[in-house]
Amino acid sequence: MANIIKKPETQPAEWDPFRSMREWMRWDPFREMAPLFGRVEREAGWMPAFEVRENPDAYVFKADLPGIEEKDLEVSLTGNRLQVTGKREQEQESKKDTYYAYERSFGSFTRTFTLPEGIDAEHCKSELKDGVWTLVVPKKPEMQAKKIPVATTKSKS
């Protein structure tokens, strides 16, 4: 699988360089400097975190997408390339209110995943329920693992 990182069964206590890199890539130093320059435009976009897992029958994608409506979410599968695009609209600010913190993110996002060969694109199921989006991409039957029984024979002595 090209760009899906397998999560270890147990979380190691030692330093994880990949986790650190993901955290650094989400860090925006300009957001932290914004109070120095007065009121600035809100963040241009946001990137929801995804959970991707594989079970014997399918690949399952989940993302927390609070505030996104069905009409604002687009999922497409072209060949083995899955693309998820969505947007969350900014609420109208009231000039009468005083804001002490405004940390919510709004805007558009796009995530792209490369799936392995052997997916059943015709039977994908997508659902957005209570702010959680779930996509199940089944594997073709011939690509699913099958148990092969092992026969034993007694040797003649």
Whether 7 is covered by a domain: the verdict is: no
Within a domain: 118: yes
Q: What's the number of domains the chain is made of? A: 1
* E strand or H helix at 156: none
The Cα–Cα gap between 122 and 79 comes to 11
* Domain of 100, in residue numbers: 45-143
Element (H, E) at 22: helix 17-26
Report, as ranges of residue numbers, the positions in the chain whose pLDDT lies below 70. Answer: 1-13, 22, 26-45, 157
pLDDT at 78: 92
Quote the tokens at residue 68.
């996104």
Please check whether residue 150 lies inside any domain of the structure.
no
- Quote the CA–CA distance of 81 and 61 in Å, as a whole number: 13
- 10 in a domain, yes or no? no
